[in-house]
Amino acid sequence: MGYLSKEQMKRVMWVSLFCILMIFLTAQFTFMRGAKNLEPIYLLNIGMDMVSMAMGYVLFVCFVIDVQKNGSDLRFLFVLLIVAYVGCFTDACAWIVDGVPSLRWANILDNTLYYMCAPIEACCFWLYTMTYLKLDDKYIRLIGKYIVLTLAIPIMLRLINLFTGIYFTIDEAGIYHRSPRYAVSMIYAFTVMILALIGVIYQRKKLQRFQIVTFFVYAIAPIAIGVMTAFVYGLSPSASVVMLVVLLMYGVLNVNQGREKAAADRDLAVAAGIQENVLPKIFPFLPERKEFDIYATMNPAKEVGGDFYDFFLVDDDHIAMVMADVSGKGIPAALFMMVARTLIKNRALLGEEPAKVLHEVNNQLCEGNKAELFVTVWMAVISLSTGEGLAVNAGHEHPALRHKDGQYELVEYKHSPAVATMEDLNFRQHAFKLEPGDTFFVYTDGVTEATNASNELFGTKRMLEALNKNPDADPQTLLDNVSEDISSFVKEAKQFDDITMLAFQFNG
Domain containing residue 231: CATH number:
1.20.1070
Residues 126, 27 share a domain: yes
Contact 131, 73 (CB under 8 A): yes
Residues 200, 58 share a domain: yes
Cβ neighbours, 10 Å, residue 80: 26
Residue 427 placed within a domain? yes
Task: Domain count for the chain, please give it.
Answer: 2
Residues 324, 211 share a domain: no
Which CA distances in Å does 50 have to 16, 206, 283, 301? 16, 38, 63, 45
Cβ neighbours, 10 Å, residue 401: 18
Residues 196, 124 share a domain: yes
| Residuewise pLDDT in 10s, the chain (508 residues) | 345 556 667 777 887 888 888 888 888 888 888 878 888 888 888 888 888 888 888 878 777 766 665 555 677 888 888 888 898 899 899 989 998 999 999 999 999 999 999 899 889 888 887 877 777 677 788 888 999 999 999 999 999 999 999 999 999 999 999 888 888 888 998 888 888 888 777 777 766 776 677 677 766 766 666 666 655 555 566 766 677 667 666 666 665 555 555 555 555 555 555 556 678 888 889 999 999 999 999 888 765 567 889 999 999 999 999 999 988 777 777 788 888 999 999 999 999 999 999 999 999 999 878 878 899 999 999 999 999 999 999 999 999 999 988 999 999 888 899 999 999 999 999 999 999 999 999 999 999 999 998 889 999 999 999 999 999 999 999 999 999 999 999 988 887 888 999 999 999 8
Please choose, from the candidates 120, 186, 129, 190, the residue with its C-alpha nearest in 3D space to the C-alpha of residue 148.
120
Residues 336, 481 share a domain: yes
Residue 269 placed within a domain? no
Cβ neighbours, 10 Å, residue 487: 11
pLDDT at 29: 86
Exposed, middle or buried by CB within 10 Å (0-12, 13-18, 19+), for 139? exposed
DSSP state letter for 395: S
Please state the three-class secondary structure of 320-337 as a single string.
EEEEEEECCCHHHHHHHH
Residue 272 placed within a domain? no
**Which CATH number belongs to the domain containing residue 340 in this structure?**
3.60.40.10
Residues 59, 123 share a domain: yes
Residues 164, 67 share a domain: yes
Residues 471, 393 share a domain: yes
Residue 267 placed within a domain? no
Residues 287, 255 share a domain: no
Residues 344, 255 share a domain: no
Helix (H, G, I), strand (E, B) or coil at 430: strand
pLDDT at 2: 45
- Which range marks the domain in which residue 113 is found? 6-259
